[in-house]
Amino acid sequence: MKKIFKHDEFNNILLNLSKEYDIYAPVTLAFKGNFSDTDLVKYEKITKLEEINLKDKSYYSAKEILLPIRQTLFYFNESEFKKPEGRTKKVLILLRSCDLHAIDRVDNIYLNNKFADEYYSDVKKMVKFAVIGCSGKGWETCFCTSMGTNKTDKYNIGLTFKNGEIYTDIKDEELEEFFNEGENKEFEMEFVTENIEKVTIPENIELDDIINDELWRDYDRCIKCGRCNFVCPTCTCFTTQDIFNRDNSKTGERRRVWASCHVDGFTTMAGGHEFRQKSGDRMRFKVMHKISDYKKRFGTHMCIGCGRCDDACPEYISYINCINKLSKKLGDNNE
């Protein structure tokens, strides 16, 4: 069902939807950015169009709605443990095509691995997705067309904003009742067809061919802050923490918290031994996971080409340039 709505008409739809759904979309948080005078764009609850930032790329992806930065797994005392109550209200997330592809990558890790993660599974069952169409060439560091994530039709609602009107493609029968009004109109979703940045992914990479390459030494300047991992929509690693109550050390809660392969301690073993101590080696580990290891297991590249890692790095390390240099090097070796 395809329809077109005026601004006020769509705001009424959002208001009605918010009675049954928590609606999340990219929102501008004033003066919450890296510096005191900069803003932060991230996913927050909204109830009207004016709250949505349709102009800027969100610093974080929608992943944290399904996979919180900090999540309580259970509460415990001396004799028992108890899971916290999960979401009781359904969720609708407005996101871009690349970020919806990223959700598929996270699904593979948390649902299609050796066993399904019950916490992620419980949340995923509550979530529907509305894809916001993209026009032009995307943002400066986007390379979604190179990764094949610039388009999708696997959404519950498709949204295209143009000429002050909202074009909607409703594919979910459960949501159709909210879109009874409006004018029927055929249209095609707008998606990016070309980016400024282009990335060539080398095929059939063997770790033995590149593990000791001098290329990785270029990245020893990494300060191991982990920001590239935390803004990435497909990074899925976490660590666990037991938090004990101050008044009774025999009670508390267990949490899982996002972790980073770039940060010290990620691979620390008993006795203090740690793999990949050099920053460049950690960069190699991440890169191989994003463009090789994951694909061998699930059939698609893990990276979706959002470019957030390039945006976030305080050392101006470019993942885009790294991939292209690696591809050129492997191409030269094969000549």
Sheet holding 90-95: strands in order across?
A: 40-45, 21-29, 90-95, 127-132, 157-162, 165-170, 2-6, 183-184
On the 0-12 / 13-18 / 19+ scale of CB atoms within 10 A, 253 is middle
pLDDT at 270 over 80: yes
- Work out the average pLDDT over 167-180: 94
> Within the chain, what is the greatest distance between any pair of CA atoms?
68
The model's confidence at residue 86, banded by pLDDT at 50, 70 and 90, is confident
Domain ranges of the chain: 2-184, 207-333
Task: State the virtual CA torsion across 217, 326, 102, 5 in degrees, nearest 10.
Answer: 120
On the 0-12 / 13-18 / 19+ scale of CB atoms within 10 A, 74 is middle
pLDDT at 175 over 50: yes
- Bridge partners, residue 76, by sequence: 81, 252
Quickly list DSSP for 44-102.
EE-SSGGG---SS--SS-THHHHS-SEEEEEEE-SS-EEPPP---SEEEEEE-HHHHHH
Task: Give residue 37's pLDDT.
Answer: 87
Name the pTM for this structure: 0.93
Cβ atoms of 260 and 286 closer than 8 Å: no
Q: How far is CA 71 from CA 90, 174, 239, 253, 261, in A?
A: 18, 29, 11, 10, 19
- Work out the average pLDDT over 241-248: 93
The model's confidence at residue 332, banded by pLDDT at 50, 70 and 90, is low
The Cα–Cα gap between 170 and 187 comes to 12
pLDDT digits (tens, 9 = 90+) for 124-134: 999 999 999 99
Distance of CA 253 to the CA centre of its chain: 27
pLDDT digits (tens, 9 = 90+) for 210-222: 999 999 999 999 9
- Work out the average pLDDT over 91-120: 95
Task: Give residue 252's pLDDT.
Answer: 96
The Cα–Cα gap between 135 and 153 comes to 16
pLDDT at 122 over 60: yes
Angle subtended at Cα 131 by Cα 89 and Cα 85, rounded to the nearest 5 degrees: 20
The model's confidence at residue 334, banded by pLDDT at 50, 70 and 90, is very low
The Cα–Cα gap between 291 and 335 comes to 22
Single out the residue of 240, 329, 233, 219 nearest to residue 285, CA to CA: 219
pLDDT at 166 over 50: yes
Average model confidence (pLDDT) for the chain?
A: 93
Q: Angle, nearest 10°, between helix axes 319-333 and 279-288?
A: 80
- Bridge partners, residue 128, by sequence: 92
Task: Give residue 335's pLDDT.
Answer: 40
pLDDT at 99 over 50: yes
The Cα–Cα gap between 114 and 109 comes to 9
147: phi then psi, degrees, rounded to nearest 5: -95, -5
Cβ atoms of 66 and 127 closer than 8 Å: yes
